C-alpha cells in the first residue's frame, strides 16, 4: 500500500485543484467530503484485510481531493478585495515588474498602495502609451477608472480566459490609459533592481552591434523580452511554428544548457553537469527571476537530471514532486497558466519520448549536439501537439521542418550574443566581431522562418478541438510510452 499512497495523494490533490478551478465551492462541500473520507476510512478499518486496502486508499484519495479544493480556495480568497470600479479615482503605487513594451502600448504591473487617501495592498495591470519609457521601481500617481478584466475571443475562435490568466499573477483589476505622474524611482526590491539594471546594460551593449529585427529576436531568445518584433514578424514565427523561441521555456533553457555541456565535453561528467546547472541558474537570474522563469528553469534542471539518472522511476518521482510543489505554491497555474502547462508537457516529451525516437536518427552525427537538438525538437512537438490544438488551435504544417532547420543554430546565436554583450564592456572591436556572427545566425533563422511562414499552406486554424479528443490523444501517447519502456526493460532483463 505504501507504494500506492503517494500517487493517490498527488492525484487527489491535483484533481481537487482542477475541480475547484471550475466549480465554486462552499464549507458544506468540505464537510461532505470529510464525512465521505471518514466513512471510507471506517470501512477500511472494519473490513477484512484484503478489502480494507481499497477503502483506506479511497479515504486518502478523497481527503487529498478536499485539500486540493481548500488550497485553491485559500489562494483565490487571498486575492479578493473591494476597490471602486468604473469610478474615476486617484491611485498611487510602484511598478513591481519590469515594464512590458509592446508595439503600440506598454503594460505596467503596479503594486497599488493608495486609492484616494485610503491605504491598500493590491496589484493592477496598467495599459499606457508606448512612447514613454517607464522603469521598474518607479513610484507613480495614477488618475483613471479601475475596471475588471474581461475574457475575449482569439483569432482562432477560442475564448481566452483573461480574468483568470491575470488572477494567477495576483492581478484582479486593470487601468486603461490613466493620467500618470512619476513621483519617485528605485523603490522596488533591491535585488530585482540590480538584476534588471544589469540586464538593461547588457541589452544596450549587444543592441549597439546587432541590427533590427535580429536584435529584437535576440531579446526574446536570450532574455525573454517581448517587445520589438511587432505583429508582422510575430505572425510569421507563429505560422512557421517557432514562436516558442522568443518565449522563455524549460525547453529553450534546456537546449542552451545542453549546448554548453557539449561544448565542454572534454570535462568529466560531474563538471559538465555542474556547468549545465550553473548556466540554468545564471539564466534565471539574468532574466529577473520571475515566477514563470523559475518554473521553466526547474523543468530544465529536471531534464538534465533525467539524462544522468538511469532509473526512470526516480525521474518520474522528481518530475511529479516538482510539478506538485509549483502547483502548491500557486494552485491557479494548473489550469490557467499556458506557459506552465506547455513547459511541463515539453519536459515530459524530452524525458520520455526522446529515447524512443533517438534510434531513428543515428545517421545524424553527434557533432555540436545536432542530433540531440533535432530529437528533442521532434519529441516535444509530438507531446505538446494535442494540447496546442485544444488550447490555441493554430496548426503549423511546416513547424517540424522549420524547427529542425532553425533550432540547431539557436544555442550558437545565444552563445555568441552573450560574448558580444560581455566584450561590449571591455573591448568594442571583439564585441562587433561576435555581434556580426550572431547577426548572421539570427538572420538565417528569420529568413528560414519567413520563407516557410509565408507559404499559403503554412498554417491552418483548427476548429474547436474537443477536450475529450485531447485526453484520448494523451491516453494513446502515454500507453505507447509505457508499452515501449516495459518491452525494453523486459528485453534487457
pLDDT at 275 over 70: yes
Owner of C-alpha cell 479578493: 80
Q: What percent of the chain has pLDDT over 90?
A: 13
pLDDT (0 to 100) of residue 175: 92
Tens-digit pLDDT profile for residues 37-86:
888 778 777 766 667 777 788 888 888 998 898 888 888 776 556 677 77
* Residue 3 pLDDT level (bands cut at 50, 70, 90): low
Residues in CB range of 260: below 8 A, 6 or more apart: 275, 276, 279, 411, 415
Instruction: For residue 384, give the C-alpha cell.
Output: 505538446
**Residue count (the chain):** 493
Least-confidence region, from 308-312, 329-333, 377-381, 449-453 = 308-312
Distance CA 77, CA 111 (A): 18
Answer yes or no: are the C-beta atoms of 81 and 172 closer than 8 Å.
yes
CB contact at 8 A, 291 and 340: no
Q: Report the pLDDT value the prediction gives residue 223, as an integer from 0 to 100.
A: 67
242: three-class secondary structure by DSSP:
coil
258-264: Cβ within 8 A, 24+ apart: 258/304, 258/369, 258/372, 258/373, 258/376, 258/411, 259/368, 259/369, 259/411, 259/412, 259/415, 260/411, 260/415, 262/368, 262/369, 262/372, 263/415
Are 350 and 254 contacting, i.e. CB atoms less than 8 angstroms apart?
A: yes
pLDDT > 80? residue 470 = yes
Residue 311 has pLDDT above 80, yes or no: no
Which three three-digit cell numbers place residue 95? 511598478
The Cα–Cα gap between 252 and 279 comes to 12
pLDDT at position 476, please?
92
Contact 302, 213 (CB under 8 A): no
Angle CA(161)–CA(163)–CA(165) in degrees, nearest 5?
65
126 pLDDT more than 90: yes
What is the model's pLDDT at position 181? Answer: 92
Do the beta carbons of residue 280 and residue 300 sit within 8 Å? yes
Please give the Cα distance from 171 to 391 (Å, whole number): 22
Looking at per-residue pLDDT, the higher value among 392 and 27 belongs to 392
Is the predicted pLDDT of residue 226 greater than 70, yes or no?
Answer: no
Is residue 210 predicted with pLDDT exceeding 60? yes
- Residue (of 86, 105, 108, 88) closest to 97 by Cα position: 108
Q: What CA–CA distance (Å, rounded) separates 295 from 343?
A: 8
- Contact criterion met (CB below 8 Å) for 85 and 134: no
At the top level of CATH, the class of 88-188 is mainly beta
How far apart are the C-alpha atoms of 292 and 313, rounded to whole Å? Answer: 27
Residue 331 C-alpha cell reads as: 494552485
Average pLDDT over residues 171-194: 89
Residues 6+ apart with CB under 8 A from 176: 126, 127, 144, 145, 147
Stretch 18-42: mean pLDDT: 81
**pLDDT at residue 366, rounded to an integer:** 63
For 334-346, give one letter per residue: b (16+ CB within 10 A) or e: bbbbbbbbbbbbb
What is the model's pLDDT at position 109? Answer: 92
- Beta strands in 281-439, from DSSP E residues, in sequence order: 394-396
Q: State the chain's mean pLDDT as an integer.
A: 81
Average pLDDT of span 390-400: 85
Mean pLDDT in residue range 385-412: 85
**Three-point CA angle 283, 223, 136, nearest 5°:** 105
If pLDDT is split at 50, 70 and 90, which confidence band does 310 have?
low
Q: What is the pLDDT of residue 94?
A: 94
pLDDT at 491: 61
In the chain, where the domains are located: 2-77, 88-188, 200-492
Give 85's DSSP letter: -
Reported as a pLDDT band with limits 50, 70 and 90, residue 95 is very high
Cα–Cα distance measured from residue 204 to residue 431, given in angstroms and rounded to the nearest whole number: 12
* pLDDT, greater one: 209 or 306: 209
Q: What integer is the mean pLDDT of 167-186?
A: 90
Q: Would you state the pLDDT for residue 50?
A: 66
Q: In sequence order, which residues have a C-beta less than 8 Å from that of residue 466 and are 6 or more positions away?
A: 390
Instruction: Determine the 3-state secondary structure of 457 from DSSP.
Output: coil
Please compute, for residue 92, the number of CA atoms within 13 A of its CA located in the half-sphere on the CB side: 11
Give the whole-angstrom CA distance, residue 446 versus residue 458: 15
Q: Residues 330-374: pLDDT tens digits? A: 899 898 888 888 888 888 888 888 888 888 877 776 665 677 778
Amino acid at each position: 500500500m505504501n507504494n500506492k499512497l503517494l500517487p493517490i495523494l498527488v492525484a487527489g490533490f491535483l484533481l481537487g485543484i482542477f475541480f475547484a478551478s471550475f466549480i465554486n465551492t462552499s464549507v458544506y462541500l468540505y464537510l461532505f467530503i470529510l464525512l465521505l473520507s471518514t466513512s471510507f476510512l471506517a470501512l477500511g478499518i472494519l473490513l477484512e484485510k484484503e478489502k480494507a486496502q481499497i477503502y483506506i486508499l479511497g479515504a486518502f484519495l478523497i481527503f487529498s481531493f478536499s485539500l486540493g479544493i481548500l488550497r485553491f480556495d485559500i489562494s483565490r480568497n487571498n486575492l479578493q478585495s473591494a476597490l471602486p470600479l468604473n469610478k474615476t479615482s486617484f491611485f498611487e503605487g510602484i511598478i513591481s515588474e519590469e515594464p512590458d513594451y509592446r508595439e503600440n502600448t506598454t503594460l505596467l504591473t503596479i503594486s497599488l498602495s493608495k486609492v484616494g487617501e485610503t491605504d491598500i495592498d493590491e496589484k493592477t495591470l496598467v495599459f499606457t502609451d508606448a512612447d514613454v519609457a517607464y522603469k521598474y521601481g518607479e513610484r507613480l500617481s495614477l488618475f483613471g477608472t479601475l475596471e475588471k478584466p474581461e475574457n475575449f475571443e482569439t483569432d482562432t475562435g477560442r475564448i481566452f480566459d483573461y480574468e483568470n490568466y491575470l488572477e494567477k499573477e495576483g492581478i484582479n483589476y486593470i487601468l486603461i490609459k490613466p493620467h500618470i505622474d512619476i513621483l519617485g524611482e528605485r523603490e522596488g526590491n533591491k535585488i530585482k533592481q540590480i538584476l534588471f539594471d544589469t540586464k538593461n546594460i547588457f541589452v544596450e551593449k549587444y543592441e549597439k552591434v546587432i541590427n533590427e529585427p535580429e536584435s529584437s529576436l535576440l531579446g526574446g531568445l536570450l532574455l525573454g523580452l517581448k517587445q520589438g518584433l511587432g505583429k508582422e514578424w510575430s505572425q510569421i514565427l507563429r505560422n512557421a511554428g517557432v514562436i516558442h523561441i522568443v518565449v522563455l521555456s524549460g525547453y529553450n533553457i534546456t537546449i542552451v544548457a545542453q549546448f554548453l555541456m557539449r561544448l565542454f565535453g572534454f570535462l568529466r561528467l560531474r563538471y559538465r553537469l555542474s556547468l549545465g546547472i550553473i548556466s540554468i541558474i545564471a539564466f534565471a537570474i539574468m532574466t529577473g527571476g520571475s515566477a514563470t522563469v523559475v518554473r521553466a528553469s526547474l523543468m530544465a534542471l529536471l531534464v538534465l537530471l533525467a539524462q544522468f539518472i538511469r532509473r526512470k522511476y526516480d525521474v518520474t518521482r522528481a518530475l511529479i514532486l516538482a510539478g506538485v510543489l509549483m502547483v502548491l505554491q500557486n494552485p491557479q497555474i494548473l489550469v490557467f497558466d499556458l506557459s506552465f502547462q506547455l513547459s511541463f508537457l515539453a519536459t515530459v516529451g524530452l524525458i520520455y519520448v526522446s529515447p524512443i525516437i533517438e534510434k531513428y536518427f543515428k545517421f545524424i552525427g553527434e557533432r555540436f549536439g545536432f542530433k540531440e537538438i533535432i530529437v528533442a525538437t521532434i519529441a516535444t512537438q509530438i507531446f505538446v501537439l494535442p494540447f496546442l490544438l485544444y488550447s490555441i488551435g493554430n496548426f503549423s504544417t511546416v513547424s517540424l521542418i522549420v524547427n529542425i532547420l532553425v533550432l540547431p543554430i539557436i544555442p550558437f546565436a545565444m552563445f555568441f550574443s552573450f560574448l558580444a554583450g560581455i566584450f561590449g564592456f571591455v573591448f568594442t572591436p571583439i564585441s562587433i566581431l561576435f555581434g556580426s556572427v550572431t547577426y548572421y545566425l539570427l538572420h538565417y533563422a528569420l529568413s528560414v522562418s519567413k520563407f516557410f511562414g509565408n507559404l499559403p499552406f503554412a498554417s491552418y486554424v483548427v476548429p474547436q478541438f474537443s477536450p475529450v479528443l485531447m485526453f484520448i490523444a494523451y491516453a494513446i501517447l502515454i500507453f505507447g510510452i509505457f508499452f515501449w519502456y516495459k518491452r525494453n526493460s523486459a528485453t534487457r532483463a
